[in-house]
Structure 1
Amino acid sequence: MTDERSEIQENIIAKDASPVRAIGAISGTSVDGIDAVLVELTGTEVDLQVKVLAAKTYPYPEDLRSRILDVCSGGEISMAALAELDEAIAKAFANAAIDLQKNHPPACIIGSHGQTVFHRPPRDGELGYSLQLGRGATLAALTGIPTVSNFRAADIEVGGQGAPLVSKLDLCLFGRHDRDRCVQNLGGIGNVTYLPAGCLQQFDRVRGWDTGPGNVLLDLAVSDLTDGAQTFDRDGAWAASGHPDFTLVERWLQDDFFRQPPPKSTGREHFGREFLHRCRLEAEALNDADWLATLTELTVSAIVDNYSRFLPRLPDDLFLCGGGSRNRYLKQRLQARLENVTVKTTDDAGVNADYKEAIAFAVLAYWRGLNLPGNLPSVTGASRAVVLGERSLVALPEIP
């Protein structure tokens, strides 16, 4: 059977190389649903070209989302229930991939990050551990398309954090010869890629790490305040009507994670409901708008503090992506705190800010097919660059 690697390599090597169609899919720490893209890819690394053919977010059914959030919050679950949840997530990803291809030529490969339900960074000389549900083998079987999944494992096995994994894509799409840039994702957890001028020739100069909470605390707070009727603060309008308590923000920034030097990664295990509860006890005198404004300021301050501590200098440009890039108040606060930095979204550079993470996993699957490394050791702390992802191939029927 011809696997997807040889098919992709043949397309790239061919003189009249045709684009490779790939699907990328991810559900982030906000657990809002599945972001999926269908893209055409040409080139390899710094000459990579990405054309988006289709992009859509597929919300989880409420029952499934509730089950995922319960596991992410540390709820006990039997092995049978975990297997059922794993399969349900895989089916949701498969349905998204099938729907996305309607009215388009089919993809030849899927890159699925799945749904992270647990992430433990390496510590005390022990390897990290990260669990993403949504079995690649099930996804391949249901769609009939070779699937690459479990991207974090290979990086973790060589001592890396297993995150962030988007930094090599950021390098290829946003790196420049003459400008220092940062790409800041604002999903449930925030992460940054620092791209110094000239990094296209020197990949090891790129840096990246998780900066702390992105939207996760804000979304939990909004859900609590509205008894679940709202899951996020649209445009940051509610928070914008309040006033942040800067004293509380400075106190929360004493958390060890913010002072920990990169490489570093985190998740809901650290910045989740327990952390929010501790913050709320200290902020009980605040009204609802001030409470949300203060949580927004924590996200902003975590980013600014990380840049000040761990970057050699502030960037010329800051590109935002992820759901938080649509939060106007958060963006305004970042621009106010980084007054000499041009704050934009990746839309301004031609990359859809809502789907950049999904694009990354389409590209990582593509690189897996080309046998190209997908991690940057200077970002994750891995001992070497490695090919990422496990392949699940579709079995062909036997010929009588």
Structure 2
Amino acid sequence: MHPTEEAAVSTRVIGLISGTSVDGIDAALVEISGTELDLKVELLAGVTYPYPAELREKILAVGAGVAISMAELAEIDDAIAQVFAQAAQNIQTGHQPTTLIGSHGQTVYHRPPADRGIGTTPHSPLPTPHSLLGYSLQLGRGGLIAHLTGITTVSNFRVADIDIGGHGAPLVPRVDAYLLSHPQEGRCIQNIGGIGNVAYIPPRHGDWLSKIRAWDTGPGNSLLDLAVEHLSAGAKTYDQDGNWAASGTPCHPLVEQWLNQDYFHLPPPKSTGRELFGVAYLHQCLKDAQAYQLNTADILATLTELTAASIVHSYRTFLPEMPQRVLLCGGGSRNLYLKSRLELLLASIPVLTTDEVGLSADFKEAIAFAVLAYWRHLGIPGNLPTATGAPQEVLLGEIHQSYS
């Protein structure tokens, strides 16, 4: 069957992802039809399923570089697959059966290509060239998800792009292009998960697809969540609506100092993760803040300002032109204080959420991996070379058939 014929019939797909904040598994059940310009997606259900506390702690420890045995790694890999499979089964309740799952899994390590990437600590921002190819590890193996659910599962989306020299990130911009582009308006789709990433989508005419630019802007919620947990002695894991930060005052000299970090000045394509903007980076930030005698609210306000300022700095430095509209998604889109700081720094540019243009801000990433699985099933490339730095388009994801 030709892909366009198969795509004429709508398909139910489940998208699964847990981001760098390790908040839980975002699951989206969607109805998809069309292929690219005629792509249509309807969200039938979206739920976030928290990780069991013990598993979350193990994931965070692995991501922070704690040494474990191969046997322990295998156990965590299987445990993540099991909770992903359970999420896929639960979200189908009350709906017609699903025939396909797209699972991003849980990233525990990401190293960009050495010739264009960044280092893994705040003290050595430029890497020793171990390899010209990057490396990215997502746990929660697709084969086990397929076995447990009885549903064909596409996983390991980043590898094909990395294998030809790309960053394997960001992967969502191609989906953004077909779901959120506008005929006359240039837009920035700004995801604020643990890490922030942007897709600049020019007006949809002419050779518009080749003009899309995308990259990781830097920290999103990662530093904020780590800081909240540290400053509250574990009593809180995130800043609800940004209220704690909003009660403080950002220290602008400190933000300017932090913006001198090499990553912010590295031209796209580029990608990053908790390997750089993680626990060690937070402790360096807290050490830097001591000179200014900031209280806890001021520290949070300053870290929030870093996220906002790094996003805006990224636009002004690397975009061909500023967008006419910014659309936020991800958990950070619910941080009202962060959103207000972005609005202030972007001046006259409207800042909305993707909810306001018809695409769930909370589940957009999960929806995207459902689409990427659907494209893989149809034989349609999923990466965007201008975003990942890969030399060409490739099919993304490994297909795991169910034999149960």
TM-score bin, normalised by smaller chain: over 0.9
CA distance in 1, matches of 2:25, 2:101: 14
**Residue 39 of structure 1: how far off its partner (Å):** 0.3
Residues 133 and 14 from structure 1, CA distance in 2 versus in 1: closer, same or farther, beyond 3 angstroms? closer
Kindly provide the amino acid, as one letter, of the partner of residue 396 in structure 2: L
- Give SS of 1:21's match: strand
1:132 to 134, 138, 157: 138
1:209 to 211, 215, 231: 215
Deviations 1:104-139 (A, max 9, x none): 001110000000000000013610000000000000
CA distance in 1, matches of 2:39, 2:9: 13
CA distance in 2, matches of 1:201, 1:378: 13
CA distance in 2, matches of 1:266, 1:305: 16
Q: What is the aligned partner in structure 1 of residue 389 from structure 2?
A: 381
**Residue 198 of structure 1: how far off its partner (Å):** 2.7
Structure 2 gaps of 5+ residues are 116-130
2:61 maps to 1:70: yes
Q: What is the aligned partner in structure 1 of residue 121 from structure 2?
A: none
2:103 maps to 1:120: no
Residues 243 and 199 from structure 1, CA distance in 2 versus in 1: closer, same or farther, beyond 3 angstroms? farther
**Residue 202 of structure 1: how far off its partner (Å):** 3.1
CA distance in 2, matches of 1:390, 1:85: 20
Kindly provide the amino acid, as one letter, of the partner of residue 286 in structure 1: L
CA distance in 1, matches of 2:243, 2:113: 38
**Residue 228 of structure 1: how far off its partner (Å):** 1.7
CA distance in 1, matches of 2:92, 2:276: 37
2:194 to 184, 188, 192: 188
**Residue 197 of structure 1: how far off its partner (Å):** 1.2
Q: What is the aligned partner in structure 2 of residue 3 from structure 1?
A: none
**Residue 14 of structure 1: how far off its partner (Å):** 5.8
Residues 102 and 153 of structure 2 are in contact (CA less than 8 Å); yes or no, is this contact kept in structure 1? yes
CA distance in 2, matches of 1:366, 1:71: 31
CA distance in 1, matches of 2:84, 2:233: 28
1:331 to 339, 349, 359: 339
Structure 1 gaps of 5+ residues are 1-5
- Matched residues, number: 387
2:94 to 79, 86, 103: 103
1:318 to 314, 321, 326: 326
- Give SS of 1:218's match: helix
CA distance in 2, matches of 1:221, 1:14: 48
Residues 185 and 192 of structure 1 are in contact (CA less than 8 Å); yes or no, is this contact kept in structure 2? yes
Residues 37 and 52 of structure 1 are in contact (CA less than 8 Å); yes or no, is this contact kept in structure 2? yes
Q: What is the aligned partner in structure 2 of residue 53 from structure 1?
A: 44
CA distance in 1, matches of 2:162, 2:30: 28
Residues 134 and 166 of structure 2 are in contact (CA less than 8 Å); yes or no, is this contact kept in structure 1? yes
Q: What is the aligned partner in structure 2 of residue 237 from structure 1?
A: 243
Kindly provide the amino acid, as one letter, of the partner of residue 338 in structure 1: L
**Residue 201 of structure 1: how far off its partner (Å):** 4.8
**Residue 199 of structure 1: how far off its partner (Å):** 5.5
- Give SS of 1:177's match: coil
CA distance in 2, matches of 1:76, 1:293: 33
Residues 171 and 200 of structure 1 are in contact (CA less than 8 Å); yes or no, is this contact kept in structure 2? no
**Residue 77 of structure 1: how far off its partner (Å):** 0.8
- Give SS of 2:214's match: strand
Deviations 1:158-211 (A, max 9, x none): 111100000001100111121110000000000000001135853111000000
- Give SS of 1:228's match: coil
Deviations 1:192-244 (A, max 9, x none): 00001135853111000000000000000001112222110000000001000
Deviating 4+ runs (over 4 angstroms) = none
Deviations 1:269-304 (A, max 9, x none): 000000110010011211010000000000001001
- Taking structure 1 as the reference length, the TM-score comes to 0.95
2:28 maps to 1:37: yes
1:86 to 53, 77, 80: 77
- Give SS of 2:189's match: strand
CA distance in 1, matches of 2:306, 2:79: 35
CA distance in 2, matches of 1:304, 1:18: 41
CA distance in 2, matches of 1:364, 1:329: 32
2:301 maps to 1:293: yes
2:150 maps to 1:159: no
Q: Which moved more, 1:315-324 or 1:17-26?
A: 17-26
Identity %: 59
**Residue 395 of structure 1: how far off its partner (Å):** 2.2
